[in-house]
Amino acid sequence: MKKNFTPFTAGTENWQLQAFPAGKTILEITNSSNRPLLRINRGEFAGFSEISALPEIFRLHRAEDGFSVALETRSVIPFGSEFRVERDVTITNGTAAMTTSVAACNRGEVGNITLETVEFPGPWAKISYRVYGEEKMHTCKYRENAEFYSGSELPWYIQIEYRGGAKAEFMTGSDIWRHRAAAKMEGVTSAFRIADCDGTLVFERAVLIYDKETVVEKRPWQFDTLFAWSVPEGTPAADAEETEVTGCLAARKIQRTLRQAVRRTENSLRLTGYTPVLCMDSAHLDRPGKKELEHIDIQDLFQLYCWGNRQLSRKNLTLTVGAASSELLPASLVLEHLSFPPEALAQEDEEDL
């Protein structure tokens, strides 16, 4: 039986996130003037558009601290091998982390995987993007209907500046190695594209494209991403205790140390010296048998920020991050937002976490 769901809205007086249970768009971010800043559209699996999927779960949960919300969705494409698509999105302080899980649940051909298309609605002025394996950031000014990148290597970070100064960014989460899986598989390739389409910047992500002769393994996949958008500067935490961060935050030992610091403190806590790390140590991902697995630890930082503020809010305290200057992400909105305490959100029809 078809289930009927209605869109959810969450945000503050400065921005709104709207999530849609069906149709082309999954979610859209707008500012206080109702100007779209970022839009994420549904993907395609084994040749079937996710737009045809039947929604089974569509829930918005509110964290007890009132500073974050989590969107939980699940839908099934009723064709072919009946791909099940699940998403978990956590939103706080103008930043969101999204996990997309896909699996073929029935007999039928298992084929290509094209993840969500990301749109940055214009008019825009400038983009910056970083391709895996390249040392320099690419920066391009607006050119109507121009193609800025097309290739098999992953552009793992994109930031756009709109006319008027607002910004938005989208990046691969901790699992760069999954987004680059095709580079290590025989008979498989990827195709990524960044282009302007009548004033809207579009990022297309076909992560797995199989040759016709390739025998496709029927296995589940999971992909993580982060995205952020401009929000007004917050108020710095007063009299915060400082704890220095060194090393890759994906490492369990470092995570335990920082979580212990959160549990023990009787003051607001500020993590200092953090620098995003592009790391290859597979042991950090609980996969020590692999030689190298490329990952970046900024998603681990975001998760720590959300967890830490839930814990400290019970004492009316906060957790913030003082990031050091970084050539890897020199002007990241995510790092900027995590440097301030979270702002309380207003939600509609939510459930408590």
Domain ranges of the chain: 8-229, 241-347
pLDDT over threshold 60, residue 349: no
The answer to whether the beta carbons of residues 182 and 188 sit under 8 Å apart is yes
pLDDT over threshold 60, residue 162: yes
Could you write out the DSSP letters of every residue in 164-176? Answer: TS-EEEEEE-S-H
Evaluate if pTM is beyond 0.75. yes
How high is the mean pLDDT of the chain? 92
Give the pLDDT of residue 318. 95
> Under DSSP, is residue 253 helix (H, G, I), strand (E, B) or coil?
helix
**Residue 116, burial from CB neighbour count under 10 angstroms (0-12, 13-18, 19+):** buried
Fold of 8-229: Beta-galactosidase; Chain A, domain 5 (2.70.98)
Beta-carbon contacts of residue 101 (< 8 Å; ≥ 6 apart): 85, 86, 87, 220, 221, 222
Give the pLDDT of residue 265. 94
Of 110 and 353, the structure prediction assigns the larger pLDDT to 110
Both tokens of 46, joined, read 């084994």
pLDDT over threshold 50, residue 187: yes
pLDDT over threshold 50, residue 260: yes
The mean pLDDT value for 171-192 works out to 94
pLDDT over threshold 60, residue 330: yes
The mean pLDDT value for 90-107 works out to 94
Of 315 and 325, the structure prediction assigns the larger pLDDT to 315
Give the pLDDT of residue 348. 55
The mean pLDDT value for 16-39 works out to 96
